[in-house]
Chains A and B, each alone.
Chain A
């Protein structure tokens, strides 16, 4: 992640032949890493960590679909969504780390399970394709509401990250909407599976909109999670209605991801994600 050839090292033997390829530093795509980079205040860093962890864990989950999706085209779609989310995570974790002198890699690969702040929805298993689509439906609509509001954040870096991310998650929610309709209104098998997936994942919705004391300390920078619920419902419930699916009621997970309390699923995800960095400390890729 950290090393790209410097612009002047690739000259005569350009591997791309006649095709002109812009040489870009990966770090140049990190919002907040440019010349006017700012250091996050501690509370803002913690907030960036929450959001960065959500995206990082979901990206890691979605990446596991590559070569397993129902069709090659869906491999690419889910892979692209994973890469978009990884991009958001990189910028957010880079900014979060600026408060404590840690890099995005330090935060991604050298924190234990109890130090992660992601909500439980994002670490739920891929399950079958219906489970992944329902998880995407909830995640993408939540993230769209969140980033739409954060574009007006008083923190310039947070606002800039949100402005880039909101366009991407807008596409993610369209992808999830389209698939939810097709699965729910498709065959008996696909409808049965998506109904099960909705019942399995809906308990994790409430945690996303649960207010936390941290937000009260940075009201101009962050957005109260509970304030996002109305917009989420306005967007998701009509899709469920069009898909002729009932909104599940009843059991709601207590969650606890923002306090570092996680379900049994986060540990194995981190083990897989972190093994290379921990096996070869200091390696770059």
Chain B
């Protein structure tokens, strides 16, 4: 008799977990976990990532649904903005009294 987990088909799918720490903040990716379905993934996320009061809201997304940029194409993908300092606001002086710019 095969042991549970022996066959690849029995492995639970992977889920990406996002936690919102506080009202007004955005959900931040905190890690991933395995769960048989979305409802259990939310519960596992609660056990794995919010036991110390970290969050007020949890999102889970099937890892298979996440499309990523190609790590090998990092250069072409991200470096084109180098040498274009005019894209940064660093040449402007901040008006006095503006706290959160």
Instruction: Give residues in A with beta carbon < 8 Å to B.
Output: 70-74, 76-77, 80, 171, 174-175, 178, 182
Where chain A touches its partner, the secondary structure class is helix
The verdict on A182 contacting B36 (CB below 8 Å), with A70-B4, A70-B5, A71-B12 known, is: yes
Tell me the count of chain B residues lying within 8 A, CB to CB, of chain A.
16
A91 to B70, CA, bound (A): 53
Instruction: Tell me which residues across on chain B come within 8 A of A182, comparing CB atoms.
Output: 36-37, 40
The verdict on A77 contacting B51 (CB below 8 Å), with A71-B12, A71-B34, A182-B36 known, is: no
Instruction: Tell me which residues across on chain A come within 8 A of B36, comparing CB atoms.
Output: 182
Is A73 a contact partner of B35 (Cβ separation < 8 A)?
yes
Is A178 a contact partner of B44 (Cβ separation < 8 A)?
no
- 19 sampled A-B residue pairs with Cβ under 8 A: A70-B4, A70-B5, A71-B5, A72-B34, A73-B12, A73-B35, A73-B44, A73-B47, A73-B48, A74-B44, A76-B48, A77-B44, A77-B47, A80-B51, A175-B43, A178-B39, A182-B36, A182-B37, A182-B40
Instruction: Tell me which residues across on chain A come within 8 A of B51, comparing CB atoms.
Output: 80
CB-based nearest A residue for B41: A73
Enumerate B42-75 residues with CB–CB distance to A below 8 Å. Answer: 43-44, 46-48, 51
Instruction: Give residues in B with beta carbon < 8 Å to A.
Output: 4-5, 12, 33-37, 39-40, 43-44, 46-48, 51
A12 to B11, CA, bound (A): 45
Instruction: Tell me which residues across on chain A come within 8 A of B46, comparing CB atoms.
Output: 171
A76 to B43, CA, bound (A): 11
> Chain B's nearest CB lies how many Å from the CB of A64?
18
A182 to B12, CA, bound (A): 13
A49 to B9, CA, bound (A): 47
Is A174 a contact partner of B43 (Cβ separation < 8 A)?
yes
CB-based nearest B residue for A75: B47
> Chain B's nearest CB lies how many Å from the CB of A65?
13
A191 to B33, CA, bound (A): 25
Q: Closest 10 A-B residue pairs measured CB to CB?
A: A73-B44, A77-B47, A76-B47, A80-B47, A73-B33, A71-B34, A73-B34, A76-B48, A71-B12, A70-B4
